Amino acid sequence: MSTPGEEMGNAGNPLSPPVPRRRFVEVLLGSGFLATAIAFLYPVLRYLVPPKASDLGSDAVVAGHVGELKPNSGKIFRFGNRPGLLIRTASGEYRAISAICTHLTCTVQYRDDLREVWCACHNGKYDLNGRNISGPPPRPLEAFEVQVRGDAIFVRRRREA
Amino acid sequence: MSPLRNLRDWLDQRLGWDDLIAPLRKKSVPLHKLSYWYFLGGITLFLFVIQVLTGILLLLYYRPGANEAFESVQYIMTQVKFGWLIRSIHSWSANLMIFTAFAHMFSVLFLKAYRKPRELTWVSGVILLFLVMGFGFSGYLLPWNTLAFFATKVGTEIAAQVPIIGKPIMIFLRGGEEVTGATLTRFFGFHVAVLPGLATLLILLHLVLVQRLGISIPPKLEAQWTANPSAKCEMKFFPNFMLRELMAWYVALGVLGALAAIFPWNLGVKADAFAPAPAGIKPEWYFLFMFQTLKLIPPRVWFMDGEVLGVLAFGLVGLLWLLLPFFESDQPSPTKRWITGLAVFALAYVAGMSVYGHLAK
């Protein structure tokens, strides 16, 4: 049978502080286990976050070639790993905008009958500058810069002023 | 009443928690100077859990397929944060698990824990060992590197040596005549679905049997304790032995983490079906004793092909090994010594052939 004095470890010794031995061991073990758990959980949590996909060539891409698009038509091109929409207006001018709808990120398309950009998912509509004009989209589509150099139609992101 | 206590009572009223863990409370572990060997099964189980967890993590980025597998493992090891560590832990833990499973098996053999009424525990354990080796064989191919490619070629070719059923087995394993992307898809399925399912079921059975039958005592000690019940020495499983087991797991985790961090597992070179096999190619260490034996058998023995003889002999030995407890009668008889002698020989043979295979050119 243990007496309360024994339970308190070396409490009876006036030279040592009255720390119960069991408590001391518990704290030591507990903090050791905690440190181990953190040391194993931290790498796992970092591992779970996928590395950033490289956004290759997203600064400027060749979206198409002259003569590829009739007036009053549009096509989807790859802008890095996202879709962009290249439009040739009825007057023959080129426009490029992001093709990701600002509502719920569906890919939009050019409607030659409406002469508007249209999202099939929830009937969102944008004008040819990417401004949201009807339906649920909350923001305009990002507009890109278009340059025709020789045969190629280059699209680049607008520099922030 | 503390909130924890409240929650416990709430759960107990709904789950009958106390009844569920009652058998664990009743369970006790015999204490003697060989009690340390009782930790090995638990450590193997712990490493299996590590395998499941790290395996799930690897599945987040791994892509099976001849054109993608190697690249995805490369991606895990170079791009994903701590990916090299997760893969290294998976590989090291696999090897340690096979080692502890073998050690557990031999300890059971030497402590004679397979005797009546524990025959089924032994049988489920030996099948688990075969499954673990299947895990090793199928998982080895998944990074789709040169070594893995040729190991799989040779391994499945050995299976084809079995008369009559060998060839169909090989085609089933390879998913065709050759080792290709189809083989990789199959091995991936075996490795992440079929084998884990079977292993989980068998582990449950194994644990239920251990739980039902209690822990075996070596025969000599059993006789002493029966003659003199006051000499009997036991420890409660819950929580006394379990806390010790947890400490063993903690040590295993430390060893595993250190090995994985200090000696990260290599990826090697991507498999090329039209490249010659690299010199000095060998299987993983746990297949080495069989590999070396097959190499030593002459090409023609009496009327049989050496290879065929070797494969059939290993199959027969495996089967007898599985049924080993049934050869020991529960009456005192000379077969008891015979089985211990066999165990010593088997251990010496496996260890000796492995070392020989490792050193052989």
Q: Which pLDDT tens digit goes with each residue over B46-92?
A: 999 999 999 999 999 999 999 999 999 999 999 999 999 999 999 99
| DSSP states along B115-169 | STT-HHHHHHHHHHHHHHHHHHHHHHHTT-BHHHHHHHHHHHHHHTTSTTTHHHH
**In this complex, which of A33, A40, A47 lies closest to B83 when CB atoms are compared?**
A47
Instruction: Judge whether A41 and B82 are in contact, CB under 8 Å.
Output: no
Query: For residue B84, what is the nearest residue in chain A, using CA coordinates?
Result: A47
Instruction: Judge whether B328 and B335 are in contact, CB under 8 Å.
Output: yes
Asked if B82 and A36 come within 8 Å (Cβ–Cβ), the reply is no
Kindly list the domain boundaries of chain B, sorted by start residue. 33-215+236-271
Q: Tell me, yes or no, if B55 comes closer than 8 A to chain A by beta carbon.
A: no
Is 70 exceeded by the pLDDT of residue A83?
yes
Is 90 exceeded by the pLDDT of residue B355?
yes
Higher-scoring residue by pLDDT: A8, B303: B303
Contacts of B257 in chain A (CB under 8 A): 39-40
Q: Tell me, yes or no, if B331 comes closer than 8 A to chain A by beta carbon.
A: no
- The CATH-assigned architecture of domain B33-215+236-271 is Up-down Bundle (1.20)
Is 70 exceeded by the pLDDT of residue A78?
yes
Q: Which pLDDT tens digit goes with each residue over A9-46?
A: 444 556 666 678 889 999 999 999 999 999 989 999 99
Task: Tell me the pLDDT band of B303, cut-offs 50, 70 and 90.
Answer: confident
CATH 2.102.10.10 is held by the domain A60-156: yes
Q: Across chain A, how many H-helices and E-strands are there? A: 2, 10
Residues 32-71 of A with CB under 8 A from B: 33, 36, 39-40, 43-44, 46-51
CB contacts < 8 A, A to B, total 31
> Pairing relation of β-strands B234-236 and A82-88?
unpaired
Task: Tell me the pLDDT band of A98, cut-offs 50, 70 and 90.
Answer: very high
Distance CA A111, CA A96 (A): 15
**In this complex, which of B60, B79, B81 lies closest to A46 when CB atoms are compared?**
B81
Task: Tell me the pLDDT band of A56, cut-offs 50, 70 and 90.
Answer: low
Peptide bond into B229 cis (omega under 30): no
- CA distances, B185 to each of B7, B55, B119, B179, B305 (Å): 46, 16, 36, 11, 32
Is 50 exceeded by the pLDDT of residue A5?
no
Mean pLDDT of chain B: 91
| Neighbouring-strand partners of residue A11 | none
Mean pLDDT of chain A: 85
Asked if B60 and A43 come within 8 Å (Cβ–Cβ), the reply is no
Asked if A44 and B82 come within 8 Å (Cβ–Cβ), the reply is yes
Give how far B239 is from chain A: nearest CA, Å.
15
CA angle A121, A122, A123 (to 5 degrees): 105
Q: Which pLDDT tens digit goes with each residue over B172-213?
A: 999 999 999 999 999 999 999 999 999 999 999 999 999 889
> Pairing relation of β-strands B28-30 and B234-236?
antiparallel
| Neighbouring-strand partners of residue A126 | A117, A132
Give how far A51 is from chain B: nearest CA, Å.
6
Kindly list the domain boundaries of chain A, sorted by start residue. 4-48, 60-156
Give how far B263 is from chain A: nearest CA, Å.
17
Distance CA B253, CA B214 (A): 27
> Pairing relation of β-strands B28-30 and A152-156?
unpaired
Task: Tell me the pLDDT band of A88, cut-offs 50, 70 and 90.
Answer: very high
Asked if A47 and B257 come within 8 Å (Cβ–Cβ), the reply is no
- φ/ψ of A12, rounded to 5, equals -75, -20
ipTM value greater than 0.85: no
CA angle B214, B220, B225 (to 5 degrees): 65
